[in-house]
Structure 1
Amino acid sequence: MQIDPSILIASFSVIVASGATLATFLGWIENRKLRKAQTEPFVDIKLESMPQSISLLRLKITNVGLGSAFDFKLNLRPHSLMNDVQREEINQIIDEFSRPQFIIKGINYLALNEYKFSSYINLMRRNEEYLELFFTLVILAEVSYRNNIGEHIKQFFELDMREFDGSYTLGGTFEEVVPKSLKDIVSELKKANQLVQHQGRLKINNERNKKEKRLSIHQIRKQMK
């Protein structure tokens, strides 16, 4: 039985056309994903020290994505692995962090690269026993918001204080802090000494100029006589 060549050609054309249609559809999906990624917000949350003192810790919430975040909400709670003592301490820390109203009520709009800070906790006044407890705590942060087309996005972050234990020192080690402080002091003393020397040279030059001026006036008067 012979097959009509035209049927083969038609079948092949249908297969090619179907393949091209599928490739176009898959390309459209990938382009859509790419366009969405280029305008998608991404809200990041981390624990950081304040510039005034490394013992003052706060949360920094930043939109590091490529689009604006809407109806932003933040929920902080103890991690499920925490025991009762740890949970109690975490709840106290959350209460301190949550003084700004946006943590309680949320934010209507968080623009690209915009950031917000929580209130801070001070570890400088805590004893060693508390710090040992602090470096075992894990806070679970649940972040929810919407993108520019209304899609709901939810993310979870584990703020694990244990990551700082052994590698994170409040204010730096003694070996790091003291040499830097001494270097800064020596630098300031050098600047002050240079300023005093400069002012001294100016004073000497002024006195010399006054003396030379008096001598010149005296010589002119002698010549006039």
Structure 2
Amino acid sequence: MGWKENRELRKVQTEPLIDIKLEPVEYRIHFLRLKITNVGKGGAHNVKIKLFPEPSLDASFLVTAQKAIKVFMQRDFMIKGVNYLAPNDSKYTDYLSFTGLNPKELDSEYFFNLIFNAEIRYEDLKGKKYKNTYKIDTSELKIYKLGESFEEALPKALAGIQKSLESMSKNINRQTAFLDKKSKAEETHWNE
């Protein structure tokens, strides 16, 4: 039994495992893209990725899901596949933007309520075939928030400014008192 478990462990340690996730772009928080990564210990060959909307989506959300999928599928590797994806290697799709400045953008209210599926097929070095299907729920990203709202941040910022001004005023008063004392001492020295 131990020999069988060891054999299974060795096999798992050499298998590829392709993972896909929706993530913000590091240098632009309002851009999102898909990251496809081989998190397994073995290389993945002939990787094919297919994206499709969740069948249970309402018709109004279906249009947004199809637009998002069209943007993600624009990269050559998403269309033709990847010949080889090494362990810990990643590929990134085109990004979606929510700033209102370019035609790739989508309505964020619809987008952050989508669910779409990613089907990934690939092989290991020996030709063993794998198929994984992932549900990508965009609503999970709604909980992330950068900073505070203006209404929350303004009173704190004003209190911080007030505190800084009071501290500067005290420092100026101390410096003025020190300089006055020093100049009086010098004046006394010259009068003698």
CA distance in 2: counterparts of 1:29 and 1:71, whole angstroms: 29
1:141 to 91, 109, 118: 118
2:65 to 84, 90, 94: 90
Question: CA shift at 1:58, angstroms?
Answer: 0.5
Question: CA shift at 1:138, angstroms?
Answer: 0.6
Query: Runs of 5+ in structure 1 lacking a partner?
Result: 1-25, 183-225
The corresponding residue for 2:144 is 168
Q: Is the 8 A contact 2:38 2:90 kept in 1?
A: yes
Q: Is the 8 A contact 2:64 2:107 kept in 1?
A: no
The corresponding residue for 1:30 is 5
The corresponding residue for 1:219 is none
Calculate the aligned-residue CA RMSD, in Å: 2.3
1:72-87 pair list within 5 angstroms: 72-87=47-62
1:1-225 pair list within 5 angstroms: 26-125=1-100, 130-165=107-142, 167-169=143-145, 171-174=146-149
Higher relative helix content = 1
Q: Give the 4+ runs in structure 1 shifted more than 4 A.
A: none
CA distance in 1: counterparts of 2:120 and 2:48, whole angstroms: 6
SS at match of 2:94: strand
**Structure of greater Rg:** 1
Query: Runs of 5+ in structure 2 lacking a partner?
Result: 158-192
% same residue: 39
CA distance in 2: counterparts of 1:174 and 1:161, whole angstroms: 22
SS at match of 1:41: coil
Greater RCO structure (CA 8 Å; 6+ sep)? 2
CA distance in 1: counterparts of 2:121 and 2:148, whole angstroms: 38
Question: CA shift at 1:174, angstroms?
Answer: 3.7
